[in-house]
A and B are shown apart, each in its own frame.
Chain A
């Protein structure tokens, strides 16, 4: 006789753990950036290559998790959150890893080294953007408690606080970005013009990291609100 019992088949796989694991990978990928950037400051290109290699590996790992989760989310699932919210959050999470890969790719491709005058500021700015990613990751890790409490009450308030904190961090990283641009502007005449152009680009993309992380949080809001 068939012994699986058909009732057990009506339960689909919960998207919570896969979402969390995916963002863990994506965040880890982004967190490899400081090591990579420091290596470029020292012009130690073999170290930088090694760090870049890890970033690419983690980005691929996140991609695999993304594909797997998408395959496990057929349209016939009844979930407490809407399927499109889950998919949208997944693709936002994924962009954190993509952005980290793009930043490292641009820097390594052009063998860019930041002017010493902005190195410390850039690192501080990068760390702040990564703080935003970390905060978003914490919020995503509240998802299982949120599912457990059935999307109501104290747990929702807690998540709202966490995403408020996320916005604050993002604001701070924006301030740092403005400051950094100003510093770069002050010295840009001394730099080769193309180099300067791409430095602005790197700063932009680093700012995007925090931006994307914040959007992950705002998608969490929409999930709760349904």
Chain B
């Protein structure tokens, strides 16, 4: 294919642009439950975000990337005009990146996932032809957008109710916190590892049998529990008579759990959202390199790394400020709540990433927070704002689609 190098460089730059936008803005919303609970400092949150977003992107970001790359557009129909797919994917990246910058500037709640899916569907359906879109897959994705906040909400409800039952409602919550919090630590470490390993790390050259992945998950879970318990035991025990400080100490124990949850959340966000930037770029690269659209190959790892780097740059240049403001504005989430919401969201996102479904991190987090609220865990949730966040996709999907059609026509006019 002529201009192959040019297309690849362009795709890399556009992907970097969009990943930058995700790092600058979206990470803050993903990390909100963690930084809001004040269990970790802003600096720690940024460090955790940088490390685990990158790890999530590289280790677990492959599935969703593949879905965006070749699950939505039926590439076999474009066999004779592979450059159409290149233009379309480039246009989608530009459209999504532009829309994210506009929306972030205005403070509109948008989802990066909804934007990029809207953009890809848009250029394919309107720019090329309705039949090029694999509608069953698009339907599955749309369903997952409804299901994921619900699942996260249910998990959060269960987690927080169990915390109430096992710890908070006791005569001596501190004693029971010291007893049960390590179990939650294990659960978090075990589950995140298990999903990541189970769906395969083949793209980085690691293949595990079921037994191996189970053992690895148990080992990592136990390791995290050991480290967490070490820090927990450094918090001095208090007799329950000092009741006013009692819950404060209980929350400090949950604070350690919160650090683990923050890592899980950053990892999950990286695994799901980096694909939004990297998926289209991966499609461009594979077409440009091979000259045909149907080639089946795993996502090259260097593209995932580019996405991870973009997110970290976004964090470093702008995202840290957003995280700081979000952290200061959320005072309602104490660590015992933030942990339930964060872990539920992270689990849901990683599960979805494992099946290759691109879901919206923000919506999942909101669903999880609602779940805690329904378990009587949060003093006040403004349902009108929740509604506006959930409704945001109504404008986001068509906006992403419209912009991508415009960019597609421009690119085809210039380069085609």
A residues whose Cβ falls under 8 Å from a Cβ of B: 1-16, 74, 76-80, 145, 147-156, 226
Q: With A6-B29, A80-B376 given, name 16 new contacts (CB 8 A).
A: A1-B25, A1-B322, A2-B107, A4-B325, A7-B32, A9-B329, A9-B382, A10-B381, A10-B389, A11-B329, A11-B331, A11-B378, A15-B379, A80-B379, A149-B169, A152-B165
Shortest Cβ gap from B128 to chain A (Å): 33
Given A1-B25, A5-B325, is A76 in contact with B382 using a C-beta cutoff of 8 Å? yes
Question: Which of A15, A152, A154 touches B171 (beta carbons < 8 Å)?
Answer: A154
Please tell me if the beta carbons of A153 and B169 are within 8 angstroms of each other in the complex: yes
Q: Which residues in B have their C-beta under 8 angstroms from that of A6?
A: 29, 107-109, 362, 385, 389
Rounded to whole angstroms, the CA-CA distance of A152 and B168 in the bound complex is 8
**B206 to nearest A CB, angstroms?**
34
Q: Contact at B170–A11, with CB atoms within 8 Å?
A: no
- Smallest Cβ-Cβ distance to A145: which chain B residue: B247
Give the size range of B's interface with the partner: 35 or more
Does B160 sit at the interface, judged by CB under 8 A?
Answer: yes
Residues of B within 8 A of A11 (CB): 329-333, 378, 380-382
Q: Give Cα A80–Cα B370 distance, bound, in whole angstroms.
A: 11
Known pairs A4-B326, A7-B326, A155-B169; A150 contacts B107 (CB<8 A): no
Among residues of A, the one whose C-beta sits closest to the C-beta of B30 is A7
**Cβ contact within 8 Å between A7 and B330:** yes
Question: Which of A147, A150, A154 has the most B CB atoms < 10 Å from its CB?
Answer: A150
> Which of A76, A78, A150 touches B168 (beta carbons < 8 Å)?
A150
For B150-182 the 0/1 string (1 means CB < 8 A from A) is 000000000010011100111101000000000
Q: In chain B, what residue has the closest Cβ to A156?
A: B169
| B381 and A77 within 8 A (CB) | yes
Closest-CB distance, A144 to chain B (whole angstroms):
9
B53 → A minimal CB distance (Å): 16
> Judging by beta carbons under 8 Å apart, are A5 and B329 in contact?
yes
Residue of B nearest to A81 (CB): B376
Q: Does B366 contact A (CB under 8 A)?
A: yes
Which B235-257 residues sit within 8 Å CB-CB of chain A?
243, 247
Contacts A5-B325, A154-B169; A10 near B385 (Cβ below 8 A)? yes
Interface: B106 (CB within 8 A): yes
Q: Are B105 and A13 in contact (CB under 8 A)?
A: no
- Please pick, from B28, B247, B318, B387, the residue contacting A5 in the complex, using a CB distance under 8 A: B28
Q: Is B358 an interface residue (CB 8 A)?
A: no
User: Is A4 within 8 A of B329, CB to CB?
Assistant: yes
Bound-state CA distance A76–B388 (Å) is 12
Q: How far is the CB of B30 from chain A (nearest CB, A)?
A: 9
CB distance A9 to B385 under 8 Å? yes
Can you give 26 A-B contacts (C-beta < 8 A)?
A: A1-B105, A1-B318, A2-B104, A4-B329, A5-B29, A5-B322, A6-B109, A6-B389, A7-B326, A7-B330, A8-B329, A9-B385, A11-B380, A12-B380, A77-B382, A78-B378, A80-B378, A148-B334, A150-B163, A150-B164, A153-B168, A153-B169, A153-B170, A155-B169, A156-B169, A226-B376
A4 to B324, CA, bound (A): 9
The docked-state distance in angstroms from the alpha carbon of A33 to that of B66 is: 75
Q: Which residue of B lies closest to A86 (CB)?
A: B380
Given contacts A8-B326, A153-B169, A15 and B247 within 8 Å (CB-CB): no
In B376-416, which residues have CB < 8 Å from any A CB?
376-387, 389
Contact with B377, one of A9, A77, A150 (Cβ below 8 angstroms): A150
User: Which residue in chain A gives the minimum CB-CB distance to B374?
Assistant: A78
- Is B192 positioned at the interface, with any CB of A under 8 Å from its CB? no
Given known contacts A6-B109, A7-B32, A7-B330, is B322 in contact with A15 (CB within 8 Å)?
no
- What residues of chain B lie closer than 8 Å to A13, measured between beta carbons? 380
CB neighbours of A1 from chain B (8 A)? 24-25, 101, 104-105, 318, 322
Interface residues of B in 14-47 (CB under 8 A from A): 24-25, 28-29, 32, 36
Q: Which of A7, A15, A154 meets B362, CB within 8 Å?
A: A7
Q: Are A2 and B106 in contact, CB atoms less than 8 angstroms apart? A: yes
A78 touching B383 by the CB < 8 A rule? yes
Known: A1-B318, A6-B109, A10-B369. A74 touches B382 (CB 8 A): yes
Pair B169/A150 contact, Cβ less than 8 Å: yes
Given A6-B29, A7-B366, residue A150 in contact with residue B160 (CB < 8 A): yes
Closest Cβ neighbor of A226 among chain B residues: B376
A69 CB to closest chain B CB, in angstroms? 12
Residues from chain B with Cβ under 8 Å of A152 in the complex: 164-165, 168-169
Q: Tell me if B321 counts as interface (CB < 8 A to partner A).
A: yes
Which residues on the A side are within 8 Å of B334 (C-beta)?
Answer: 148
Given contacts A1-B24, A1-B104, contact A148 B380 (CB under 8 A): no
How many whole Å from B391's CB to the nearest CB in chain A? 12
Interface residue B227 (Cβ < 8 Å from any Cβ of A): no
| Docked-complex contact A77 and B164, CB < 8 angstroms | no
Given known pairs A15-B379, A148-B247, the reply for A78 and B370 (CB within 8 Å) is yes
Name the CB-closest residue of A to B102. Answer: A1
